[in-house]
Structure 1
């Protein structure tokens, strides 16, 4: 029986001026992107942000996803690395970085020089893929509410149907995922199960939630959804829109992205720039 793949995540971090962030590992004497193994039960998105912070001291927010790398390690096991583009939040100065046994150098390297500095061909391929996606984007996260009580077993107004324990756990796990995409604006259906889905993020960050009847199953209209989506695409911040499965096709149609199936607590992260969709990815809870 072949051993399980090693799962890891990282980011291609870029900044204005055409530079990319690289790290040097003394154990392997190689130059690569900041990355690392997932902790047990950790989502790759959360791991990517955490590993960049641990290896470089920089806090980042993620942009469009890149193709994952899969290669055989010297141990014979396969390694699967998920990558995203990323931008630094706050100062990007690494001159004060203190070397250690794991990472002894962190440098901003000009793009063409980085191509030659990187040790591995799979990293050079990832760098080339990241180049057209290096401009800063905003995220519009389309979120299906977390797992709620069964509709058949609920006798009251469906708008008041709450999350079950699994849904509450899913809503907690959404907090670092939404933070990874720098969500600072929260928009949700006024139905209880949607409000409860975004509540942990609102409570953790302090960003207030704006409630909309027009995002609920009962009151959603094409015109209302389109107007809201257009407004959010023009906004200068990353946002989350929490709604219901029957309303999702209208939201995705307004975004002009292909329809996807989202499980309870799942999200479609739509990356946009100047009102134009650049990339989109599905993230399951």
Structure 2
């Protein structure tokens, strides 16, 4: 007897992004602080899940994750370690892929003033033990389990290759002053929400113009200072100098962007204990470190 095979997912999946937002709740009396997770209730489906939503056309998944949390809960968050993506088939036989990160709230985590709407009618901080029972889907419970294991704070170092610059063969003066192309300027602008998603607070770049110009839009948008370093320039970089600088940045335990050039990048990754991924212009690697060791690595870029 033959059986009917399940429908095949459509060629183009529905892509979504969200975050598992965790906090330690204020102590109640003599009770110890309890780990809580932020959950939302969708009246249309009568389910409890994590804040998430579809990625808009042309939007990066990292940006979408932060945006969706803000839209569905009213809270601004920064992303930490990535979690395994969820994949499942939805109505119509289409495959849905949801990208998740562990996240922490940037400012106030009070959701008592949240105004219910047709999409999300409840937002609650729920103790993790209770959330395991409240979550409506098995795959969300698995994601929560992974997030709890990865909740510990990490040092984030974002290694960025500068955006597209004018060709070296078309530049006759000092290479340090070789500027970004129009495409590179657009890439620098598009990097702003990606860097903001990780709330990078320390911006260190090669002193060459094309590197500085790559991070200035983010610095202007968030009011951060750009620190230029000759030790990251093609002309002045040495193995010892790069090693000392990267070790200083890791030891400082700040969320850092390090922007430099292709010839210097292998030395940077070597200090971080990683193979050189050979980044394209405008690409970055987000390294999550604990005690100086990489525990998670992401690669992102803009066109």
Q: Under a length normalisation based on structure 2, what TM-score does the superposition of the two structures give?
A: 0.90
Q: Name the larger-Rg structure.
A: 2
Partner of 2:255: 238
Q: Is the 8 A contact 1:21 1:108 kept in 2?
A: yes
Task: Write the deviation string for residues 34-89 of structure 1: whole angstroms up to 9, x where unpaired.
Answer: 00111111111111001000001111000011111111112321111111110001
Partner of 2:169: 152
Q: Is the 8 A contact 2:157 2:250 kept in 1?
A: yes
Match of 2:288 among 266, 271, 281: 271
Task: Write the deviation string for residues 73-106 of structure 1: whole angstroms up to 9, x where unpaired.
Answer: 1232111111111000111111222211111111
Partner of 1:215: 232
Supply the RMSD in Å over aligned alpha carbons. 1.4
Task: Write the deviation string for residues 163-216 of structure 1: whole angstroms up to 9, x where unpaired.
Answer: 111111110011111111111111000111101101111221221111111101
Q: Is the 8 A contact 1:87 1:136 kept in 2?
A: no
CA–CA distance in structure 1, aligned partners of residues 162 and 18 of structure 2? 28
Q: What displacement does 1:261 show?
A: 2.2
Partner of 1:134: 151
Q: What displacement does 1:259 show?
A: 2.4
Runs of 4+ in structure 1 off by over 6 angstroms are: none
Q: Under a length normalisation based on structure 1, what TM-score does the superposition of the two structures give?
A: 0.96
- Structure 1 position 183 matched with structure 2 position 191: no
Structure 2 runs not aligned, ≥5 long: 1-8, 25-33
Q: Is the 8 A contact 2:266 2:275 kept in 1?
A: no
CA–CA distance in structure 2, aligned partners of residues 37 and 73 of structure 1? 13
Q: What displacement does 1:274 show?
A: 4.3
Match of 2:270 among 235, 253, 268: 253
Structure 1 runs not aligned, ≥5 long: none
Match of 2:279 among 245, 259, 262: 262
Give the total of aligned pairs: 285
